[in-house]
Amino acid sequence: MTSRVPVSLALLGGSALVLAGCATATPAAEDAGDGLRIVASTNVYGSLAAAVGGDDVEVTSIIDSLSQDPHSYEASARDQLTIADADLIVENGGGYDSFIDGLIDASGSEATVLTAVEFSHDYPDNAGHSDEEHADEEHDHDHAGHDHIEGFNEHVWYDPHTVVHLVEDIAHELGELDAADADTYEANAADLVAQIEGLEGSLGEIAAEHEGEQIFVTEPVPVYLAAAAGLVDATPAAFSEAVEEGQDVPPATLLEARDILASGDVRAVITNAQTGGAETTEIVSLAEDEGIPVIEFTELLPEGPDYVEWMQENIDALAGSLTE
């Protein structure tokens, strides 16, 4: 739970938000002093914001446990208070963490909101980004990007190129809010970007050895990372979409998936360690029968590593699976 003093739900009775008292958030400092408060929807974005803000910011991640699902998260009264105190909010968007939008509306927050999906070159109507654009950009919570978009993969934190753009804009927005420390934010962001470019280098090494090889993913979570490594997603779209939505995979699609695994062309199967189901279990079993390596990715940061360390671990696991 955050360390802010709880406020009676009666004080929030006029809110349109349905509040669940059992939800949690990353602990925040008792006294943030004059530092900027950043609220991130998940600890993935919290890690990025903390790296850019350094000692000059307080970062609270609403979701920070592998047991929590951003798709179905029920926000609490404390989450609403946390959002109300924010100077900057970082969310994923694309329908992934829509609870943030409910919190913003209910709290009346006027904080700047950065939405990660809008930095993806695959995002509809995205004309691209450049450093020169920052000065003319305005971010608030009254924009598109919150609803699920058919055919768009919202798991953009697995796309290093998108993350670079987001990191640069976090630094820009912090500099707008705190001009005295703007140079520090920009320097921190430059260091983080260099580390992320190192990730892209590791992905390039995989591509040099395995360009065009096929993988199978039970959910679309790691697809951006695999694509950056030059790999081809052989999964039937109807399969991964059904698993992600918690629906039954159509029998014909499941049969197609079995045939794909039996073809001998799939080099690795990637599952989401935070979810499961009968179809996922069957795919894992079939992969093991075919001698195909199975690796697990997560949607949230596990305890310990920061964003770059975590992503490098994922890349190393992917590279290792392709050499088995």
Give the tokens for residue 301: 């940061």
Compute the distance between CA of residue 154 and CA of residue 69 in angstroms, rounded to an integer: 14
Which of these, 188, 191, 160, 168, lies nearest to 57 by C-alpha position?
188
Q: What is the pLDDT of residues 106-156, one digit of tens each?
A: 999 999 999 999 999 999 866 555 444 444 445 554 444 456 677 789 999
Given this model, what pLDDT does residue 52 score?
98
pTM for this predicted structure: 0.85
Give the tokens for residue 212: 């065009």
Given this model, what pLDDT does residue 146 score?
56
| Interacting residues of 63 by C-beta distance below 8 A, sequence separation 6+ | 25, 41, 42, 43, 70, 73, 97, 300
Compute the distance between CA of residue 45 and CA of residue 157 in angstroms, rounded to an integer: 8
Q: What is the mean pLDDT of residues 165-184?
A: 98
Q: How confident is the model at residue 245 (pLDDT cuts 50, 70, 90)?
A: confident
Q: How confident is the model at residue 287 (pLDDT cuts 50, 70, 90)?
A: very high
Give all domains of the chain, ordered by start, each with its CATH number.
Answer: 9-198 (3.40.50.1980), 211-322 (3.40.50.1980)
